[in-house]
A and B are shown apart, each in its own frame.
Chain A
Amino acid sequence: MDELALSLDTVWMLLAAMLVFWMQPGFALCEAGFTRGKNTANILMKNFVDFMFGSLLFYFVGFGFMFGSEGSGFIGAPNWGDLSFYKGGLPVEGFLIFETVFCATAATIVSGAMTERTKFSMYLVYSAVISLFIYPIEGHWTWGGGWLCNDAADSFMMRHFGEVFHDFAGSAIVHSVGGVLALIGAIVLGPRRGKYGKDGKSRAIPGHNLTLASLGVFILWLGWFGFNPGSQLAASGEVNRVAISHVFLTTNLAAVAGGTATLFLTWIKYGKPSLSLTLNGVLAGLVGITAGCDLVSPLGAVIIGLICGIVLVYAIEFIDHRLHIDDPVGASSVHGVCGILGTLLTGLLSTSSGLLYGHGWSLLGAQSFGVLVIDLWAAGCGILLFYGIKKLHGIRVDARIEDEGLDVYEHGESCYN
């Protein structure tokens, strides 16, 4: 029976890995649709690069950085392509694939925020660094069994908070890290030419194909049904079959609540229900529920979705109109702001240890500390990385290339002929 159970768990994990892999085309289409047709080959290429570099580097060293040394220390020992160190119940090669697709998801979030003006060669440097260092190291502190998630009685988190940091599928570990790097990348690059007028007012640069963007969001949504329920890493037995079903439901409820909140808020604010923002609203709900999808009730999931869908609209406005940071697809708001928000809301709405269920401040404290540490790490790395690239080599293409499109100048081929 145990043999069969383990096989069932493995099949579920691999199926979920396929769904999470499917988020790559989701991101690719979403980002392509939200940007102009002259840069489409460039954005698609970046999405391929994120997955290709991510898979290779994570296999050779990142997996060891993340899961090596049994969670102790700042970083695990690199595995140099050798997987034998990993001692888990699940087949290590399947587990590697599952973790690889998560790493690639963190990497690919950034491309949308930096699109239409980044040198392709410099994007390769960023993509390698996140898959090699930034993600595996904070992953080591958490899912790798490291200090933020170590629940031994005398561990740092238990002594100071009485709870460990909880991020079920990666609101903070995957999405907020991608979102924070996206924000810093967009700041270092500066806005696209023509995005802000001489009077400082934000101008619309409409994406070239909202059909592609919508399909991308639906694909991401499907992928999330692997991202969250798959993170249970098991399907056999009553506990697991109930858990993955519960996570499936909370994931979907948050997505629809997020989209619905954005739909009505934009209708009230702008007089018309906005498709371009509602697409982001669905993703905001999905990002928000990812941390606590196992701990919150279905109603809690709806509340998280609604809050994320509303905050999203104001976050996009604030970042665009006030801070004058040009994030063409809204990655910093969707993944950064809502990733942090979802991690914190878990501390409020967890039925087993949340503040609103009368369990005190422990989990909220652990969540706040954990997300702060993780995003300070991401921000610090991002600042060093992007300013470093800018100083040493230049990160932005020439004005003429930007005006005429990166496709022809950076890649020598255009998407639409």
Chain B
Amino acid sequence: MKKIEAIIRKTKFDELKEALLASDIDWFEYHDVHGIGQRRQERIYRGVQYSTDVIERVAITIVCRDIIAQPTIQVILKVANTGEVGDGRIFLSDIIDTYSIRTGENGDSVLKDKK
């Protein structure tokens, strides 16, 4: 089992959501995140220039079977890409096991991907 964590542009979220639902992903979580990086945006408020170092992005988390991982990553790479700096990152890691709280069973069968 793998965990895919992706940090993407907010503007790409709807498109990616549709793409993930159309592929083999049954469920994923997302949350709004604030990141701070070296890149700044210039703003002006009441005549005072300042730079916002806070950058708003959406983070999505997908846990899936090994064979689903690469196709899913390819979907994200394709959909969330604009070519501009700031498109985001994908992190892939191993998951030891998954349990269903309702049935108590564990293993790949809990992840009800279509395949």
A interface list, Cβ under 8 A from B: 202-207, 266, 269-272, 274, 276-277, 280, 313, 316-317, 320-321, 330
Q: Is B48's CB within 8 Å of the partner chain A?
A: yes
Question: Which residues between 28 and 65 of chain B lie within 8 Å of chain A, taking CB atoms?
Answer: 43-50
Distance between A210 CB and nearest chain B CB, rounded to angstroms: 9
On chain B, the residues within 8 Å of A321 by CB distance are: 47-48
| CB–CB A316/B46 < 8 A | yes
Distance between A272 CB and nearest chain B CB, rounded to angstroms: 6
Bound Cα distance from A202 to B49, whole angstroms: 9
Distance between B53 CB and nearest chain A CB, rounded to angstroms: 13
On chain B, the residues within 8 Å of A204 by CB distance are: 43-46, 48-50
Contact of B47 among A205, A206, A207, A274 (CB under 8 A): A274
Which residue among A204, A206, A207 has the maximum number of chain B CB atoms within 10 Å of its CB?
A: A204
| CB–CB A320/B44 < 8 A | no
A-B contact pairs, 5 of them (CB 8 A): A202-B48, A203-B48, A274-B45, A313-B47, A320-B46
Closest to A266 in B: B47
Distance between A330 CB and nearest chain B CB, rounded to angstroms: 7
Which residue among B45, B46, B47, B48 has the maximum number of chain A CB atoms within 10 Å of its CB?
A: B46
| CB–CB B46/A274 < 8 A | yes
On chain A, the residues within 8 Å of B46 by CB distance are: 204, 274, 276-277, 280, 316, 320, 330
On chain B, the residues within 8 Å of A313 by CB distance are: 47
On chain A, the residues within 8 Å of B43 by CB distance are: 204, 206
Contact of B49 among A205, A270, A280, A330 (CB under 8 A): A270
Nearest first, the 3 A-B pairs at minimum CB distance are A204-B45, A204-B48, A204-B50
Contact of B44 among A203, A274, A330 (CB under 8 A): A274
Closest to A210 in B: B45
| CB–CB B47/A203 < 8 A | no
B interface list, Cβ under 8 A from A: 43-50
Distance between A394 CB and nearest chain B CB, rounded to angstroms: 28
Closest to A201 in B: B48
Distance between A202 CB and nearest chain B CB, rounded to angstroms: 5
| CB–CB A316/B47 < 8 A | yes
Distance between B89 CB and nearest chain A CB, rounded to angstroms: 28
Bound Cα distance from A24 to B106, whole angstroms: 63
On chain A, the residues within 8 Å of B44 by CB distance are: 204, 266, 270-272, 274
On chain A, the residues within 8 Å of B50 by CB distance are: 203-204
Bound Cα distance from A300 to B43, whole angstroms: 35
Closest to B45 in A: A204
| CB–CB A320/B45 < 8 A | no
Distance between A32 CB and nearest chain B CB, rounded to angstroms: 16
Closest to B44 in A: A270
Bound Cα distance from A183 to B83, whole angstroms: 50
Distance between B34 CB and nearest chain A CB, rounded to angstroms: 15
On chain B, the residues within 8 Å of A272 by CB distance are: 44
On chain A, the residues within 8 Å of B47 by CB distance are: 266, 269-270, 274, 277, 313, 316-317, 320-321
Distance between A310 CB and nearest chain B CB, rounded to angstroms: 13
Bound Cα distance from A207 to B43, whole angstroms: 13
Distance between B98 CB and nearest chain A CB, rounded to angstroms: 36
Bound Cα distance from A266 to B43, whole angstroms: 13
Distance between B87 CB and nearest chain A CB, rounded to angstroms: 26
Closest to A273 in B: B44
Bound Cα distance from A270 to B49, whole angstroms: 8
Bound Cα distance from A330 to B48, whole angstroms: 13
On chain B, the residues within 8 Å of A280 by CB distance are: 46
Closest to A276 in B: B46
Q: Apart from A206-B45, A274-B47, A316-B46, list 20 A-B contacts with CB within 8 A.
A: A202-B48, A203-B48, A203-B50, A204-B44, A204-B45, A204-B48, A204-B50, A205-B45, A270-B47, A270-B49, A274-B45, A276-B45, A277-B47, A280-B46, A313-B47, A320-B47, A320-B48, A321-B47, A321-B48, A330-B46
Bound Cα distance from A235 to B4, whole angstroms: 73
Bound Cα distance from A276 to B45, whole angstroms: 7
Bound Cα distance from A271 to B47, whole angstroms: 11
Closest to A329 in B: B46
On chain B, the residues within 8 Å of A277 by CB distance are: 46-47
On chain B, the residues within 8 Å of A317 by CB distance are: 47
Distance between A104 CB and nearest chain B CB, rounded to angstroms: 26
Bound Cα distance from A205 to B50, whole angstroms: 9
Bound Cα distance from A204 to B53, whole angstroms: 13
Bound Cα distance from A274 to B43, whole angstroms: 10
